Amino acid sequence: MSRAVEVSVVLPAYNEADTIAETVETTLDALSSFLPAGSFTVIVAEDGCEDRTPEIADRLAAGDERVRHVHDTLVYFDTDLATDMSHLEELVESVRSGEYHVATGSRWLPGADADRPAKRGVPSLGFNTLVRLFLRSDLRDHQCGFKAFDRDALFDLLDGVEDDHWFWDTEVLVRAQRAGCRVREFPVDWTPKGDSKVDIVRDVFGMGSQIVRTWWQLSVSPRLTRRVSLAAGTLLVVLALALLPLYLDPAAVIDRMSGAWQTHPELLVLSGAIYLLSWPIRGMRYRDILAELGYTERVGFLTGAVFISQTGNLVFPARAGDAVRAYVVKARRSIPYPSGFASLAVERVFDLLTITGLAGAVLLGLAVADPSSLGALASAVTGGRASGRIAVAVAAAVGAAAVGVTAVIVASARSDTNYVRGAVRRLSTDSYADYVAGVLERFTGDVQRIAGNRRAFVRTGATSLLIWTLDVLTAVAVFAAFDVDVAPVTLLAVGFFAVSVGNLAKVLPLSPGGIGLYEAAFSLLVVALLPSVSTATALGAAIVDHAIKNAVTIAGGLVSMAWLNVSLTTAVEESKAAGDVEAAPDTD
C-alpha cells in the first residue's frame, strides 16, 4: 500500500461461509467511499470455524491487498451486518479524528432503531442493567457489535482485560471508562439477522460470573487491604459479642469453659493429642491420592503441606489456603500445579462424602433407637436461631451435592461414555460450554482415577473415615471434660452427627476457618438431641473443641512452614496466580 494504514476494521467470523465474501465486499465499498485508497484494511478474524470460512478468507486476502486474514481482534463489527453500514463513517471518524479513544454503536440510546425480539431484547436489557449497576458503566449497550478503538489506547487496556470470549468487549468498555478514556456511544439502526445466539450456559453462567469477577477486581479487591480486612474482622467479632447477650448469658458459657479446664485439663489435653493423631493419616491419604496421579512422595512432607494449607484457611478468607498446598508441592517437589489442584479436588470429594455418610448413618441410627429424637431435631432446626438454621441448611445442601456428584462419578468410572460433555451440550453447543465441560471433565477424570481403582478407592475411603472418626473423638473428649450427664454410647453417636454437620456447614467460605458456622450447627444439634445439655454447655464445648483443633492446626502449620521454609503470604499469592492460570480457557 502506498499510504500508512489509518483504519483497521476487524470482522469476527465464526462459521460465516455463506456471508463473509459479501460482507467483506460491502465493507470495502463503504470504507472507500470516505477514506483515501490505501489508508484502510479489512481484517477477517476467525477462530475454530467448522465450515469453509477460513478458506474463503484466505482467498479474499490473496486477491485484495486491502484484506487480511488473521486470528486477532482489534476493531470490529458483526459480519451479519445487523448494524446499518451508513453508520460506519461516524464510527471510524469518531476515533480517527482524535476526539474519542473508543466509539461504540448503541441499540438502547434514544434515536436508535433496533427491531429487537423478546428473545434478544430481554436478556440484553438485563445484562446491560447489571453491568451499569455493578460495574458503574455510563453506557447503555455494551455488546453491540459495532466498535472502533484508538490502537494505543486499546493496547494499554488489554493488559488488564482477562476475558477472551463474549465478555471481552464489555470488559474493554468498562476498563476504558475507569482508565479515563473518552468513550462515545451513539445510536444506530440495527436489524437482527439469522437466529439468536443467546445461550444458557454462556450467558447465565459465563457472563454472570464475568460481571462478578470484574466487579470484584475493580471495586472490591483494591479496597481489601490488610488494614481494612483486620478492621472488618475485628468489627464483626465485636458485633457478635455485643449481640450474644440477646441469646444467652456469655458469663454462663465462659463459666462452663473455665470449669472444664479447671476440673478436667487432662481430657482437654487428650483431645488435642487425639486430633494430632489424625494429621499423619491425612498425609498418608494425600500420598495415596498423589500416587494414583503418578507421583510418589513421603508422608512427612505431605503432612507438612496439609498443615500449611489448612493454616492458610484459618488465616485467610474464602478458603484461600486450599490452593496453597498446590504451591507447596510445586515449589518443593516440582509436582505440576494441575496435579496439585487435582489432588486437592479428589481429597475434598472424599472428605465431603465421608462426613456426609457419617451424619446420615448416625441420623439413621438415632431414628431406629429413638424415633422421638427426630422430632426434637426438626423442631430445633425450624424454631432455632437463624445462625443454626443457616448452618444446617448449608450442611444439608453440601452433603446432598457431595453424595450426588460422587455417585455419578463412581457410576461412570468404568464407562467409556462422556456423561459430562453430553450433559453440558444438551444445554449448549457454544464454545464457552465446551470450556465449562472441559473444566468439569478434568475434575471428574481426576476423581475417576481413584474411583476406577477399587483398591485405591477403598483405601482412600478408609483413611478418610479414620480421619473424621478421630475428629469426632476429639469433640467427645472435650464434652467429657464438661461433665455432661449422657451415656457414652449416646454421646458418641450425637458427637458423630454434630461434628459431621458442623464440618459440612463450614465448607462454604462464609468465614475464615468456618468460625461461627461450626459452633452454631454443633451446639444446635447437641441441644436438640440431648435435652439434658444446656445451650451454654453445648456452645462452650463447641468453642473449645474448635479452638483446640485450630490451635493444633496453627502450631503444626508454623512448624511445617519453618521446616519447609515456606512463607504463607507468598504461598497464597503464588497459588492464587497459578489458580487463575489453571482456570483460564485454553486458547491454543
Q: What averages of pLDDT result for each successive group of 10 residues across the chain (588 residues)?
A: 75 86 93 91 80 90 90 69 88 88 92 78 84 92 89 85 82 94 94 63 65 83 64 56 56 80 91 94 92 88 90 68 80 82 79 75 65 55 48 53 59 56 59 57 64 79 90 88 79 72 60 60 72 82 86 90 80 61 38
pTM exceeds 0.85 for this model? no
Which of 252-255's residues contact partners 24+ apart within 8 Å by CB, and which partners?
252/534, 252/536, 253/536, 253/539, 253/540, 253/543, 254/540, 255/536
Q: Which amino acid is at 447?
A: V
- Three-class HEC string of 504-571: HHCCCCCCHHHCCHHHHHHHHHHHHHCCCCCHHHHHHHHHHHHHHHHHHHHHHHHHHHHHHCCCHHHH
Give yes or no for a contact between 309 and 322, defined as CB atoms under 8 angstroms apart. yes
* R_g of the chain computed on alpha carbons: 30
- pLDDT given for residue 301 in this prediction: 93
Instruction: Please tell me the distance from the alpha carbon of residue 291 to that of residue 286, in angstroms, as a whole number.
Output: 8
Number of CB atoms found within 10 A of residue 255's CB: 14
Q: Which amino acid is at 113?
A: D
First-last CA distance in the chain: 32
Sheet holding 7-13, edge to edge: 67-70, 40-46, 7-13, 76-77, 146-149, 102-106, 183-187
pLDDT of amino acid 189: 92
Element (H, E) at 308: helix 299-315
Instruction: Report the distance separating Cα 105 and Cα 65, nearest Å.
Output: 28
**DSSP secondary-structure letter at 143?**
-
**So what's the pLDDT on residue 10?**
86
- Rounded Cα gap, residues 498 and 518, in angstroms: 9
Enter the DSSP assignment of 18: T
Contact present, 308 and 328 (Cβ < 8 Å): yes
β strands within 116-190, DSSP E: 146-149, 183-187, 189-190
Distance CA 512, CA 320 (A): 9
Do 477 and 492 meet the contact criterion of CB atoms below 8 Å apart?
A: no
CB atoms within 10 A of CB 190: 23
State the pLDDT at residue 350: 82
| Residues β-bridged to residue 7 | 40
Task: Estimate to the nearest angstrom the gap between the alpha carbon of 400 and the chain centroid.
Answer: 19
Of 398, 266, 382, 251, the C-alpha closest to 319 is 398
Q: How far is 223 from 133, CA to CA, in rounded Å? A: 19
Give CA–CA dist 549/294, Å, rounded: 32
What pLDDT is recorded for position 355? 76
Catalytic residue of the set 150, 169, 288, 471 = 169
pLDDT at 56: 92
Any idea where the domains of the chain sit in the sequence? 7-221, 226-583
Give yes or no: 545 in active site. no
Bridge-based pairing state of the strands 67-70 and 40-46: parallel
- Is 504:484 a contact under the CB 8 Å cutoff? no
Q: CA–CA distance from 469 to each of 464, 474, 493, 495 (Å)?
A: 9, 9, 11, 10
pLDDT of residue 183: 95
- CA gap 507, 367 in Å, rounded: 26
Q: CA angle, 167 as apex, 442 and 575 as ends, to 5°? A: 45
CATH class in words for 7-221: alpha beta
Residue 588's CB is within 10 A of a number of other CB atoms, namely 3
pLDDT at 132: 92
Instruction: Judge contact between 27 and 92, C-beta under 8 A.
Output: no
Three-state DSSP state, 193: coil
> CB–CB of 120/145 below 8 Å?
no
Distance, CA of 310 to CA of 304 (rounded, Å)? 10
Determine the length of the chain.
Answer: 588
